[in-house]
Amino acid sequence: MHDNIQTIEYGTKTIQFNLSYSNRETLEIAVYPDQTVWVTAPEDSSLDKIYDKVRHRRRWITKQIKHFDRFENEEQEFEYISGETHWYLGKQYRLKILQVGNEVQESVKLKRGYFVIHSRKKENADYVKTQLDAWYREKAEKKFQDRLMVCLGIVQKYGIGKPKKLKVYQMDKRWGSYTTSGNILLNPDLIKHPVYCIDYVIIHELCHIKHPQHDSKFYDFLKKVLPDWQKRKHKLEGYK
């Protein structure tokens, strides 16, 4: 398999895509969360035929790119008041914020479908947010380590070993990252999503141990390790 970068123009717009050839019968077009477009074509395909296919799908391609761009730039605003809905492991829970005095310990607990938050500053949204974020981070520290061990059991047969460390690290617009020093970083906000989405991000980053770049080799390998990765990714990226 080999790949290269191609562009097509229609009207005032340009689509750039990574083109690769493989031993397959049909042409596949994919748009990934980083907004890159990948086209995998049968080995005997002509460029003219490939361009025709891409032009035919141009509206779908631009729609997918806009979807991921909107996701990256969209921030949900919360007021951190009682009755507001927040997520944990793919389930919704409403906030129940209770004012407490200095004699009562502050806490955040899940109880009967609610986040019950005992706070000394109930009316201070930033203060309540700090309490809830600390709870999320504590849960993320443990859950991510537990899921890493499960995911390692999946990838080890493909020659992938354990990363140096898994760290919970707040990132803008990214769920995870594999660093040049051999660590995996995971966004604590990932704890709000279902376990199978958490596993997808972890396995995605583990695959970078073998293929550091987001190229066709990486995505071919990811598909081998986790055949339904696209379904998990779509669930994660479209989550509200």
For the chain, the domains span: 3-73, 85-237
Residue where the block lists tokens 């191609």? 6
What is the per-residue pLDDT across 50-75, written as a single tens digit (0 to 9) for each? 999 999 999 889 888 887 666 554 45
Query: Residue 30 corresponds to which tokens in the numbers above?
Result: 């994919």
Quote the pTM value.
Answer: 0.71
In whole angstroms, give the CA distance from residue 190 to residue 173: 11
Mean confidence (pLDDT) of the chain:
89
The pLDDT score that the predictor gives to residue 166 is 96
In whole angstroms, give the CA distance from residue 14 to residue 201: 30
* Domain formed by 85-237, architecture: 2-Layer Sandwich (3.30)
Query: Residue 7 corresponds to which tokens in the numbers above?
Result: 């562009």
The pLDDT score that the predictor gives to residue 1 is 42
Which of these ranges, 45-59, 68-82, 112-126, 143-157, has the smallest mean pLDDT? 68-82
What's the chain look like in SS3? CCEEEEEEEECCEEEEEEEEEECCCCCEEEECCCCCEEEEEECCCCHHHHHHHHHHCHHHHHHHHHHHHHHHHCCCCCCCCCCCEEEECCEEEEEEEEECCCCCCCEEEEECCEEEEEECCCCCHHHHHHHHHHHHHHHHHHHHHHHHHHHHHHHHHHCCCCCCEEEECCCCCCCEEECCCCEEEECHHHHHCCHHHHHHHHHHHHHCCCCCCCCHHHHHHHHHHCCCHHHHHHHHHCCC
The pLDDT score that the predictor gives to residue 184 is 96
Residue 184: φ, ψ to 5°: -105, 130
**Quick check: 168 and 188 in contact, CB under 8 A?**
yes
What is the per-residue pLDDT across 67-100, written as a single tens digit (0 to 9) for each? 766 655 445 688 999 999 999 999 999 999 999 9
> Crossing angle of helices 229-237/195-207, nearest 10°?
120
